[in-house]
Chain A
Amino acid sequence: QSVLTQPPSVSAAPGQKVNIPCSGSSSNIGNNYVSWYRQFPGTAPKLLIYDDKKRPSGIPDRFSGSKSGTSATLGITGLQAGDEADYHCGTWDSSLSIWVFGGGTKVTVL
């Protein structure tokens, strides 16, 4: 059971927008930065969003991050077939004094 809660899967048609929620508590998301990672099958995760809403160099602005209270959201606009992957949220947990992740969400492009 992951500390952060994500839906197992989300789907949308090409060109549409998808939102991936990540729910936590005041000890993690509520008081610490959230980051998001994309993972294609058989490969390592890659940083997509850090510090709640910042994008590393090279990440297109189709990807966005937001946070409200103890929940965070990754948004992907202009969905493409190449966006099919697993997406993971992560953050520091001040009570556990360690990093925690969500269970991951599989994005399917219909």
Chain B
Amino acid sequence: EVQLVQSGAEVKKPGESLKISCGASGYTFTTYWVAWVRQMPGKGLELMGLVNPDDSETRYSPSFQGQVTISAERSINTAYLQWGRLKASDTAIYFCARLRAVRSSFDLWGQGTLVTVAS
């Protein structure tokens, strides 16, 4: 089955670090870019950045540049999103999604990872 499976919900304190994952199966991982998308409570979708699993090239939305790190490990078909120092405002659901083509659409989504940051 073609799918993206994300790691489980996380509860962290401000200032802590975190790395969440997105595992791909059922297709050639290196063929498609993978995106990370944030959805804050009650809000719309925000693209954080993209990674090309073939060569690990990354692109970040200006709002997220320097705030997070996106990476991929092709040997285990997994993409990652990490924070060095979490803030309460990072509380959100984070989705990974497969980019069908650079200017086309996101045709496959992970189930989402809820990240809660609270003291």
To the question of whether A and B form a pair in one complex, the answer is yes
Could you list which residues of chain A lie within 8 angstroms of chain B, going by C-beta atoms?
2, 32-33, 35, 37, 43-47, 50-51, 56, 88, 90-92, 96-104
Closest to A86 in B: B44
Cα distance A46–B50 when bound, in Å? Answer: 18
**In the assembly, what is the distance between CA of A55 and CA of B59, in Å?**
28
Knowing A32-B103, A35-B106, A37-B106, the reply to whether A103 touches B95 (Cβ < 8 A) is no
Q: Report the minimum CB–CB distance from A69 to chain B (whole Å).
A: 18
- B36-59 contacts to A (CB < 8 Å): 43-47, 49-50, 59
CB distance A98 to B61 under 8 Å? yes
Chain B residue nearest to A104 (CB atoms) is B44
Residue contact A103 to B43, C-beta cutoff 8 Å: yes
With a cutoff of 8 Å between Cβ atoms, the chain A residues found around residue B103 in the complex are 32-33, 91-92
Instruction: Fill in one digit per residue for B5-26: 1 if any A CB lies within 8 Å of its CB, else 0.
Output: 0000000000000000000000
How far does the Cβ of A38 sit from chain B's closest Cβ, in whole Å?
A: 11
Could you list some 25 contacts between A and B, CB below 8 A?
Answer: A32-B103, A35-B104, A35-B105, A37-B45, A44-B111, A45-B45, A45-B97, A45-B106, A45-B109, A50-B104, A50-B105, A51-B104, A51-B105, A88-B44, A90-B105, A90-B106, A96-B61, A96-B62, A97-B59, A99-B47, A99-B50, A100-B47, A101-B44, A101-B45, A104-B44
Complex alpha-carbon distance, A86 and B87, angstroms: 27
Q: Is the CB of B59 within 8 A of A98?
A: yes
**B52 CB → nearest A CB, Å:** 14
* Given known contacts A44-B95, A44-B112, A98 and B62 CB-to-CB distance under 8 angstroms: yes
Complex Cα spacing A33 to B111, Å? 25
